[in-house]
A and B are shown apart, each in its own frame.
Chain A
Amino acid sequence: MTGDLLFQQYPFVPHIWDEMKDAEAIRRQYLSIYETVSKLSLQDLEKKDSLASELFMSQGITFTVYSDNEGIERIFPFDIIPRIITSTEWEHIESGIKQRLKALNLFLKDIYNEQQIIKENIVPAALIATCPHFTREIFGIQVPHDIYVHIAGIDLIRGDDGRFYILEDNLRTPSGVSYMLENREVTKRIFPDLLASSNVRMINNYPLLLHDNLVSLVTRQTEDPVIVLLTPGMFNSAYFEHTFLARQMGIQLVEGRDLLVDNQKVYMKTTAGLRQVDVIYRRVDDEFLDPLVFRPDSALGVPGLMSAYRKGNVAIVNALGNGVADDKAVYAYVPAMIKYYLNEEPILPNIPTYQMKNTDEREHVFANMHKMVVKETNQSGGYGMVMGNSATEVELENAKKAILANPRSFIAQPIIQLSTVPCLIDGKLQPRHVDLRPYALCGPNGIDIVPGGLTRVALREGSLVVNSSQGGGSKDTWIVDMEGGH
């Protein structure tokens, strides 16, 4: 079979936005990949596919899936056909994310200081009072440059109208950026000439940008600041990424036991004695960071770390307490935050979100359970989610019971038919649903978003759940500058 036939056989599904093909033809941004792939045989493509798998395997690019308290290490499935977004679409996404992050940073500063947005009743006080991630222990702490979200992974989806929507905000320790970078490296190996000839924007300066941002947080007068990446250790699901980023940036990878606090300063234990630490890029959750303040049983953190943070002797990235801003029930108020803090209309819309605490909204959801996805406000990674269109009646009834028992812990949203892109599966090009997680970096000089992101794909036919923990895969994501306008 030739590549050309693969494209001819690619199905058109009405009512779903396919990013490669509309009802008539292949979209312009996919023509270069079409031209390349259509000249290849299926055998060539499958060879590239297995080359890609071998590259991932040999580099040890893995993640861990948790279930029943057991961790299983897996290769992150990769699909060789890139996902392509035009630079015009990208500029819209970029401006929308920047606007959102500006508002979310202002919200975090407000909520941990003056709380004006509550006093003016824009965000209900009850919502914050019941938010498990509202972190009283950091109240009043001044963070450098008022930046709380240094690194954001905001998830976007594309609806059947072709528009991009915000799915969720990940403002704590968003992961996956190493896959974005590694996917590109693999694409370079399997389609060596295509990236340049297709005018794909570069993403490989991400570690450099991140490092620059971390350096910008140093307040100590020193020529040789110490920046470390704090990992929970090798059993963490994202340990590969921690080692990858530390190596790429040339910073030390440390665990809690490698650090100590003396008189509100953090030190790293080295063979040459103690060295003061200026910035900690931590991949340890808030509640494990300081056993003196948070969970006393945590051995992953550093006792006294919060006092050094409070005194301004160490910067912590991301700030603590960000979970109050990416709570799934607080999400519904982000458009209101944008209006309140920036006096602007949201560029990227939210998905309509029903608060289960509100009786009218809850009854509407219960009457339309088959069209709804129910999510736990406090969960991520696709855990704690019920899809109304595929759940059994028993599962739906259980979801209703759980909601009634604890309404604040759930929201519901109408199920959105995510856009599809072509994937090479079983010797055919098949449409599969995707989302997009661009990585934004907020520094004192503004917000940088490397052009691209992690496209996650639901590899099972018809599935709308893209999370890697739920059997999703990923794709290289191209932002292409189209010659001669759009």
Chain B
Amino acid sequence: MSIFRIHHITKYEYDRPVKESVNNITIYPYQSADQETLQQELVITGNPDVFTYTDYWGNKEGTFNLLTPHREMVIESKLLIRTLALPDIQVPWDVFMPELDAVIGSDLQLLELARASPVKAVSVMYDYINQIAPANKNITQIIADTCDLIYTHFTYIKGITTIESTVDEILEKKAGVCQDFAHVMLELLRMMNIPARYVSGYICPNKNGMRGEGATHAWVEAYIPGYGWAGIDPTNNVWVTNTHVRLAVGRNFTSCSPVKGTFKGPARQSLSVYVSVGYEDGETFEELNSVQLQKQGENEVPEIIIDTFAGQQQQ
């Protein structure tokens, strides 16, 4: 059991005033038995009313708008949260595929989370699956081996992929950040008919240091009959215990994006994200990331008057 103090600031700046900004935020802790929100304070430019609701995957989401002209929008979340999971994961090592197949068949969400998306490099994926050699292995072993394979074969490099990178692009680069590691792992598990979902959240530091600290992080949950959703982090090659804080789950990044929005106005925008995670009364780890947004060129001002943005890549 640990208590974490998390500070997450998302800041959009525009070189000219924009208006009619409408936004969706997925920065509330995921409601589940293994984490307890002690306090969350949300401060947004203009102090708008935030309308919250629960989405299809069970995530709490919020919508708000800022209609008047503005050159800056800041979304600041201060969170105090307690994780209740045990420091060691208790996954079963004796559950096999036939048991899973029997459960998936009539469960809509498991079915859709076990359905692979089309990947062009099918042969590359099957090569990886051959290395994992899932036949006769128990499900937990398959999941652990998949995680290990990604950790071993892919290099963690910031800045070479983007928020929109496809699995094919990541396969080609064999590198990326946590979002990319998670997307590849999801596809591999799904191709082996194991339901898997994307998790967006924060990772809390330990003595050894972990990748993805000081930013929003992403990992994977895989379904094991009799146990449920087991979290596993291919970026750090660890099972998820009490040092990960979950914000949202979904099919992929798109359904978990912490902040996305639209605005009107011919302006260039820049985004910076600051995340600090600390033990209550303990050491704090922080990072400020300037995010290169896809849609803006350096010299041209976009002609379109509606622009959309999907926030920061998860690292």
Contact = CB atoms under 8 A, between A and B. Distances in A.
Interface of A: 115, 118-119, 121, 125-126, 128-130, 136-137, 139-140, 260-264, 291-293, 296-297, 299, 303-304, 307, 310-311
Interface of B: 20, 22-24, 48-49, 51, 53-57, 63, 65, 67, 105-108, 111-112, 115, 255, 260-262, 304, 306, 308, 310
A304 B63 contact: yes
A356 B54 CA distance: 36
Given A125-B107, A303-B262, 19 more contacts: A115-B108, A125-B105, A126-B105, A126-B111, A128-B108, A129-B111, A139-B55, A140-B54, A260-B20, A261-B65, A262-B67, A292-B24, A292-B63, A292-B262, A293-B24, A296-B308, A296-B310, A297-B308, A304-B65
A319 to B, nearest CB: 16
Contacts of B310: 296
B112 A129 contact: yes
B261 to A, nearest CB: 7
Contacts of A307: 51, 53, 63
Contacts of A262: 65, 67
Contact of A139 (B51, B56, B261): B56
A201 to B, nearest CB: 44
Contacts of B51: 263-264, 307, 310-311
A303 B111 contact: no
Contacts of B65: 261-263, 304
Contacts of B115: 129-130
A207 to B, nearest CB: 33
Q: Which of B22, B107, B260, B261 has the most CB of A within 10 A?
A: B22
Contact of B22 (A119, A121, A140, A261): A261
A107 to B, nearest CB: 14
A291 B264 CA distance: 12
Contact of B308 (A137, A291, A311): A291
Given A137-B56, A303-B20, A292 B107 contact: no
Contact of A292 (B106, B112, B308): B308
Given A264-B63, A291-B308, A125 B111 contact: yes
A264 B23 CA distance: 12
A397 B226 CA distance: 46
The 8 closest A-B pairs by CB, nearest first: A136-B56, A139-B56, A129-B111, A296-B308, A303-B22, A304-B22, A307-B63, A303-B262
Contacts of B67: 260, 262
A310 B310 CA distance: 21
A125 B106 contact: yes
Nearest to A310: B53
A263 B49 contact: yes
Contacts of A137: 55-56
A121 to B, nearest CB: 6
A262 B46 CA distance: 13
A119 B306 contact: no
Contacts of B57: 136
A297 B164 CA distance: 14
A296 B308 CA distance: 6
A129 B116 CA distance: 12
A307 B112 CA distance: 25
B75 to A, nearest CB: 15
Contacts of A263: 48-49, 51, 65
Contacts of B105: 125-126
A118 B108 contact: yes
A320 to B, nearest CB: 13
A291 B306 contact: yes
A115 B110 CA distance: 14
Contacts of A128: 108
A291 B309 CA distance: 10
Contacts of B56: 136-137, 139-140
Q: Which of B107, B112, B261 has the most CB of A within 10 A?
A: B112
B111 A119 contact: no
A291 B23 CA distance: 11
Contacts of A115: 108
B308 A121 contact: no
A118 B106 contact: yes
Contact of B106 (A119, A303, A311): A119
B260 A292 contact: yes
B55 A291 contact: no
Nearest to B260: A292
A481 B51 CA distance: 55
B300 to A, nearest CB: 18
Nearest to B254: A296
B17 to A, nearest CB: 16
Contacts of B304: 299
B208 to A, nearest CB: 38
Given A140-B54, A260-B67, A263-B49, A303 B112 contact: no
Nearest to B24: A292
A172 to B, nearest CB: 20
Nearest to B108: A125
Q: Which of A139, A293, A307 has the most CB of B within 10 A?
A: A307
Contact of B306 (A139, A303, A311): A303
A45 B62 CA distance: 64
A295 to B, nearest CB: 9
Nearest to B114: A129
A307 B310 CA distance: 18
A32 B304 CA distance: 60
A405 to B, nearest CB: 11
A141 to B, nearest CB: 9
Contact of A299 (B24, B260, B306): B306
A289 to B, nearest CB: 13
A303 B65 CA distance: 10
10 contacts: A115-B108, A119-B106, A125-B105, A129-B115, A136-B56, A263-B65, A264-B51, A264-B63, A292-B24, A304-B63
A283 B119 CA distance: 34
A136 B112 CA distance: 11
A299 B260 CA distance: 16
B95 to A, nearest CB: 21
Contacts of A140: 53-54, 56
Contacts of A126: 105, 111
B282 to A, nearest CB: 38
A121 B105 CA distance: 10
A292 B22 contact: yes
A116 to B, nearest CB: 12
A291 B111 contact: no
Nearest to A302: B22
Q: Which of B56, B63, B67, B106 has the most CB of A within 10 A?
A: B63
Nearest to A119: B106
Contacts of A264: 51, 63
A140 B306 CA distance: 29
